Structure 1
Amino acid sequence: MTNCTITSDEINYLIYRYLIESGFVHTSYMFQHETHILQNSNIKTENVKPGALIHYLQKGLLYTEVQYHANEDGTEKHCIAPFSLLSTHHCKTEEDEDDDKDNNDSDYFNSIAVNGKLSNKRSRKERKEELKREKKADKRIKKDNEDSMKDSLNESEDIEVDIENSNNEQEINLISQKDVINLVGHEASVFVCSWNPVEPLLATGSGDRTARIWTIPESLNDPIKPPIVLDHKPDGNGNPDVTTVEWNPSGTLLATGAYDGHARIWNKSGQLVYTMKRHTLPIFSLKWNHKGDLFLTASVDKTVIIWDSNTGEARQQYSFHEAPVMDVDWKDDITFASCSTDKQIYVCQLGLVDPLKHFSGHEVRILSILIT
């Protein structure tokens, strides 16, 4: 008797990891929020390898295929039909394919005979032998063509490489590993990053409850300095995983949004300047205006807030959307647009109670917005 067990929390965590690894950032956060999967201390997340959900599905599918084709005496049924996760499986052998072709041909010739158009009758046995010979010939021709195609591709690849190597105006350049700088330090998935507009600094936000400021070396041979760690300490309002980061236009301040609904402003030395607590659910988007004195936050709590970066105070909160607000963008220093999973877009302005514009037309949720 097996001791193998599986819980709904384990399944939920595998799904969450699959969403993260596949780039479904917003969906993964919503899923995490509803299942509370990261608050479960019984799940040892460090033991879960990348691609775990697909790995287990493939193993389960392989086991199901073996079980499906196992005879009572332990032997295996011969089957050439594909075995998929969702499609109904019907076993088939080479002989079945031949019979199918024979039946089709037989029906064809019989119909001709009925119409009086068959002048040379042959026995079914003779026709079957002929079809087998034709099939073998077709397979041989197909194999020869595939081998020829492979040789042709190999030759063309060699030529293409030679041309590219001898041509100074290459259109395609592959980045080799020696030209890549690895920034190692986060202890969980990195969700977002933002380049400082003035200095060679890169800010990153992670599921390890930290943002980090990395100094990018000028040369690949220069040593990498340890990052400045911006620790987002929990205060009982939920998980402070960092969901969004953005530098102000002058590169002096970094704003971060977190899963606990708090926005924070840091200086480039890593000192916390303000913590802004008005959203009640995770922040998914954060944008500075062009002047750098105000910034927006968009939250799952269905609201958008304009914050004053000089005081850390909320200037105005907007509650027009009926579902989580996924993204915002500025039109000018006081006017912005927001989009939501309610499929609506609102254009609003600081100081005005009602929106300037309301756009509707998308048939599914809107995840991103950009004003040019």
Structure 2
Amino acid sequence: MDLTSHHVNYLIWRYLQESGHGEAAVMLQRAWNPNPQSLPFAPYIRNHALVSLVQKGLQYHEIEQSLDEDGNPVPMSPSKSFFGPTPFDLDSYKPPQEDDRQGQVQGLSEDGQQRAPSPTKGQRPSHAANGLAAAEPPLGAKKVSKGDAANGDGGVMEIEVNGVNHDQVMTPGIKSQSPSELAVDVDGDVAMATEAHEDQEPPAPPVTFTLTEGKSIGVQSTAKTPDLGACTSTVDLNVGRPDHVMMATWRPYDSSIFAAASESVCGLWKLPGLSDRATAAPVHERIFDSHGDGSWVTALAWHPSGDKLAVAVYGTEQRGSIQMFDAEGNAVDILPDAPGMIVGLHWAPGGSSMLVVVSINGNSELTLWDDSLKSAELSADLVIDGEIFDATWAGTTQLFVAGSGFVTQCGTDSGLRVVNRFESRISSTEWSFVRGTKRAFSAVAVAVSSPATSIWVPTHDMLLEDIHDGDITAAEIRPEPLTQEAEASSSLILATSSIDDTLRIWNVNLQSREITNIHTLSLVPKVPVLTLAFSPDGYAISAATVDTVAIWNVDRGGAPLATWTAPDTREAKKATTNGDVQVGNLIQYRCLAWDSDSKRLIMGYGSQMAVIDIQRRAANGVFDET
């Protein structure tokens, strides 16, 4: 078999994940292949494959050096060692303590010597980084002391997890063995015969997994969480009215343009280029302004291609209208009016169809608008009794809508039609959020009730109640690459936020029908978490309070990777005599939006928006978790 760069990159990518260097793995993934698991050989690679391959290579090298041309044993001198004759003293390369960290520059100590990566104080190693299980040492492998390993007499190959070394694969010493003494291991490869050592080290303590049930304790740090203020700019609506940012959305495949809307205005913002960020201001194009006439923006949605933006407005005539704009803010199309308030615009993934949800006198109408046909009227394809609180696509031909006591599944392959209607156990339960995806090659709906604090998976008859101690404010499914492997999976990751001051991450296993809490995260004690958003690459999750944003690694949880706090909070927090934090006007609205490259994040608060440049902060080492 020919060894290609894809094979090597994949092994390195897997090693970075298994050793806990998640940010480095993501950077390699972005530079090399957005979905390494889609490579045809990926399913056959075992855990810790790179370490195993290097270890076997070192064994073969030592075998080669210990035999002459005729296969007779010859003395193995230190000069023939692959890494040279100088012994490697692990004690001399211990990670630097907190006091020496200020003298480091990109991994260099004060004396200019290269140092090993230092673990975060209090950090726990994980053998299950990014869902990959830890490999066990081979049966019959013996531990050897550091003294035996010093000069090649015995080698201990170690896996570094989050900066902490763990004995993983053992290399017995070579004592001029003949070919007849060589053994074959379980993989069919040549291995050395092992010798017992009397001064064996005690077995290593069990590793604490960071993906735990309940309160997240993984990768805690006593160091101050990095602040994103230096890479955050603020944009104001500048409308002269007490408007509140309700919606914000990035243009697909473009990290320089986003749309945002308050109750009465909607606009497009174009951010300056990298070289002009320090001096240039964003360019703003206002595309709708009610001028205080009582009409307001009710929905925003970019076409998946990013070519046009649909904006829905509810007017004083109690009718809804939709207008299309291009990325420059020019009006390019006007759709027929709707006979009520348009409460949802949902483009089909990768298609030209858009689901339009209209609320009329307590009932709802669903219309599938085909942008390529441009019908003369916006007529209802389906009428649903009761209010529709949310809608979602699951693939390109299936969608779900949620209301009080029900989730309805619709198909679009032969016009909009009802495929199934799921009734919840309590008919009055308001299913505030519904998210769709595909698993095991079938459509999946996950509904979340804000007042009942429940998760319901109607397509698989799963229900978990009382998941929070207060109303739920947001719910999202972790994005995954649209691959055949992802669709064949039987589990998904869901996140929910609540006014009980927590963000919770859940594993939803469709096969075992179990919903398990794997992380419980908090921004500020006793301050509601008002919204959340996954980065499109699935690596990070962000959440917001009234004036604070925090970002975590999804797999690890624990302490935030970074935070941002508004320099002047519009809705002030007040400290009581006992030191608790209270928030005036408890139920407030916040919006969060990641760009499609997972490089920038918007938070809307009051009449302002914070634009956080994650890429610039990551380049400065803020997300270096070593």
Shorter chain as denominator, the TM-score bin is 0.3 to 0.5
Normalising by structure 1, we get a TM-score of 0.46
Higher helix share: 1
Q: TM-score, normalised by structure 2?
A: 0.28
Higher relative contact order (CA 8 A, sep 6+): 2
Structure possessing the higher radius of gyration over alpha carbons: 1
More strand by share: 2
